[in-house]
Structure 1
Amino acid sequence: MMAGLWCRAGRQGVALLLACAAGQVAAASASQPAASEAGRPQQARVADALEAGQWLQRIQSAAASRSYRGTRVVSNAAGGVSSSRVTHLSDGHQRYERVEGLDGKAQVQLRLNDQLMFLSPATKVVVTEQREAVASFPRLPAAAGQRALEHYELRSLGTDRIAGLEADVLLLKPRDGLRFAQRWWAERDSGLLLRMDLLGPRGDVLESSAFSELTLLPRPKPESVGKALREIEGWRVVRPPLQRVQLDAEGWHQVRPVRGFQLIGAYRGVLDPESPQAAQIPVLQAVYSDGLTHVSVFIEAAAATPTKVVRQPMRTMLGATATVMVPHGEHWITVIGDVPLETALQFDAGLERRP
C-alpha cells in the first residue's frame, strides 16, 4: 500500500517503492498519459444508503469469488506507469492470485487465501507473510461497507465500456477534504471492478488502475489452485519475523485521531528481510483505514538506521500518494497513504511517544 507490505507502498501494485531507510521515492515513468476520462458524460444520481451498501457488497463479492485473467495498468499524474499480469482463481473455498510485474525487475506476487508470497525469480527466493493484507485493485478493503458510507456519498454516473466490457460507473464523493473521491467502473453482470480512479479536488485524475484487457474465467477445479504453487518448489523461503502488536503497548498513541480513520492493525517486523540479519532494521507499522483507503505509519528507531544512510525530512505527493517523513525524538516517522498531504500530516501531528 515492508518487503511485502513493509517496502511496497501505494496502491494496486503500482511500481512505486519507498526506500524507507534512505527516504527516497522511486517511481517508474513512461510517456503514456494517465487514463482518459469516461467517454460519455451522464447525469449523476445519488444512491440511498441501502443501494450504496448493496453496490459495495456486490463489488467486494465479485473480486473474491470470480475467476479472471487480465493485464492491469496503473498510472499516476506524475507520469508513473506500471503494468502487471493478473490471474485470480476461486473455487468457492480457496482463493489463489498471481500478479506478475511486466516492467523493470522481474517480480511475482502470489497469494493463497491469507498467505502472501513475493517471488524474486533471479535469486529463486520467496518472501512469505501470513497476515491480513491491504486490499489492492480490484478488491475493496474488508471494512468497506457502512463505515465507508459514513465518509463517502455514492453516486451513479451511468454506463461506459472498459476493456470491451459494459460497466456501471459510480462516484464515491468524500464528505470532507480528508480523502480523495473515487470513480469506479463495475462490470455490468458480475460487479467486478474494471477501473478505479482517484480524483483530486477539481476532478483531475491523480491515479488510475484499470484492466486493459480482461477475461472472466469459469470456476476452476479445486486441484488446479494447489497446482499453481508448484512453480516455487525448490526455492529458498524467507519468513521474516512479523508480530501483530498493540500500538499502545509499544509506547505509541494517536492522541488526535484523524477523522474517519480507524486503526485496523499494528505489526512489528523488519525492513528488507532478504538482507543479512545484522543489516535488518526493525520497524513498527500501524495501518489505518476509513473503509476505502489506507494509511500506513512506519516507526523506526533512528539508532537502527545504518550510518551510511543520510536522512532528510520529506513531504511530497506522487500522484495520489502522500509521503511524510519526519524525525520524532529518537525515532523517524514515515506516513504513506493515498490521501491529501494535509491528511498525512495530521497522522504525524497526532502521534505521541509515551514511556
Structure 2
Amino acid sequence: MVKWLLACLLAGHFSLALADDTTQQDPWMLLDKAAHAARDLSYKGIFMYQSGTNSRSIEITHMNAGQGEYSRIVMLDGLPQELLSQGSDIVIFSPRNEKVVIEKRRGKNLFPALLPVNLELVKASYKAKVTGQERVAGREGVIVLLEPRDDYRYGYRLLTDKEFGLLLKATTLNQQSEVIEQIAFNQLNLLNMSDMEWFKPHVDPGKPYVMEEEVPAGLAESPQDWNLEQLPPGYRQIDHIKRMVPGKKTAVNQLIFSDGLSSVSLFIEPLVKGARPKVGQTTVGPTNFYANVNHGHQIVVVGEVPQATVAQIANSVHFK
C-alpha cells in the first residue's frame, strides 16, 4: 500500500512538472507554428462555431500538396452554403430563392488559419503567454492566451496542436474575460492526398448560376473625395473593394482594417434620396455595428471588435 501511494505521489509530481514545462514554451513560436500549419498541412474536419445561443457545424477540407493551397468549407446547418478557396481567392456559392449566387471575395483569415504568417502586427497589439494544456477532438494541445494591450481589441485563448501545431480551438474574450465566441474542432483528420475530386461545389445543378456584379478594376481605383484620420492604434487598411449591390445604382466602398488578428469593415456609400439613413450602434454577439451619416454619405462599420473601435473608425472618415 505504501509503495502504491508513493507511486501515485510521484506520478502527480511528474504531471505537475510536465505542466510547468508547457508554460515555459515560447508562445510566439507556438503561434508561428500554428499559422504555418493551417496553410501547409492537408486535413479534413468538422468544427463547431458558438456565439451566445447561436451555433453552427462546419466541415472543412484543406489541401496543400505542393501545387498550391486549396480548401472547401461547407455549412452543415441551416441554409446550404459552400466556400471554395484557392490561395487568396475565395468563391462563395449561396442558393437563394430559385438561383445560386456566386460571390467572389479576397482572402480572409478563416479558422483554423486565423493567424497571419507574419506576426509582427499581432505582437504590437497583444501580449502572449502559455497558460496550460487541453485535449480537443482527440488531440493534445497547448493553450496560448493573447491579451490586448489596449481597449480597441478583444482577447483570445488559442489551443494549438502539440504535435503538428494546427489551431484546434479559438475562444474570443471580451474586456471582462467573458467568452463571447468559440470555434473548436470536434473531428479532425490529417491527410496525405493529391486527388482534387473533392474541390467542387455540391449545389443544386437545376438552379441557374448568377455571378455577383463587381465594379471594373479601373473604376475601383478612381479618386475618392474622403480620407481617414486617427484610426485606432494598431489597425491598418489591408484592402479596398468597390462592389455593386442589387437595387442600388452606385457602388459601395468597403475598406477592411486589421491589427493582424482582428478585422473591421468600413462601408461608405452615397445616401439614396428618400431613404431613411441608419444612425446608431448595436451589438450582436461578438460583433459591433456603428452607423452614422457624413456629408450625404451613409457610413457603416462592422467588426468583431469592441464598441470603441467601430465608433472611432466611423468617426475617422473626413470628406475633402
TM-score, reference length from structure 2: 0.83
Corresponding letter in the other structure for 2:170? M
Per-residue deviation, residues 57-99 of structure 1 (Å, max 9, x unmatched)? 211111101111111211113x222221111122122222111
Corresponding letter in the other structure for 1:55? L
Q: RCO higher in 1 or 2 (8 Å CA, sep ≥ 6)?
A: 1
1:236 to 202, 209, 229: 209
- Aligned-residue offset at 1:205: 0.2
Moved more, 339-348 or 108-117: 108-117
Distance 2:239 2:144 in 1: 29
Distance 2:270 2:24 in 1: 47
Residue 149 of structure 1 aligns with which residue?
123
Distance of aligned partners of 1:68 and 1:281 in 2 relative to their CA distance in 1, 3 Å threshold: farther
Is 2:88–2:108's contact at 8 Å kept on the other side of the alignment? no
Corresponding letter in the other structure for 2:263? H
Distance of aligned partners of 1:120 and 1:201 in 2 relative to their CA distance in 1, 3 Å threshold: closer
Residue 281 of structure 2 aligns with which residue?
315
Query: Where has structure 1 moved over 4 Å in runs of 4 or more?
Result: 42-47, 121-124, 230-235, 242-247, 278-281
SS at match of 1:303: coil
Distance 1:113 1:352 in 2: 35
Residue 89 of structure 1 aligns with which residue?
63
Runs (5+) with no aligned partner, structure 2:
1-15
Corresponding letter in the other structure for 1:288? F
Alignment pair present for 1:290 and 2:259:
yes
Distance 2:100 2:211 in 1: 7
Is 1:53–1:146's contact at 8 Å kept on the other side of the alignment? no
What is the alpha-carbon root mean square deviation over aligned residues?
A: 2.7
Distance of aligned partners of 1:279 and 1:146 in 2 relative to their CA distance in 1, 3 Å threshold: closer
Corresponding letter in the other structure for 1:317? T
Alignment pair present for 1:64 and 2:49:
no
SS at match of 2:196: helix
Runs (5+) with no aligned partner, structure 1:
1-39
- Residue correspondences, number: 297
1:324 to 290, 293, 305: 290
TM-score, reference length from structure 1: 0.76
Is 2:50–2:183's contact at 8 Å kept on the other side of the alignment? yes
2:169 to 176, 195, 214: 195
Residue 303 of structure 1 aligns with which residue?
272
Per-residue deviation, residues 307-327 of structure 1 (Å, max 9, x unmatched)? 5x6443231122211111222
- Aligned-residue offset at 1:191: 0.9
Corresponding letter in the other structure for 1:289? S
Residue 74 of structure 1 aligns with which residue?
49
Is 2:93–2:201's contact at 8 Å kept on the other side of the alignment? no
Distance 1:342 1:130 in 2: 27
Residue 177 of structure 1 aligns with which residue?
151
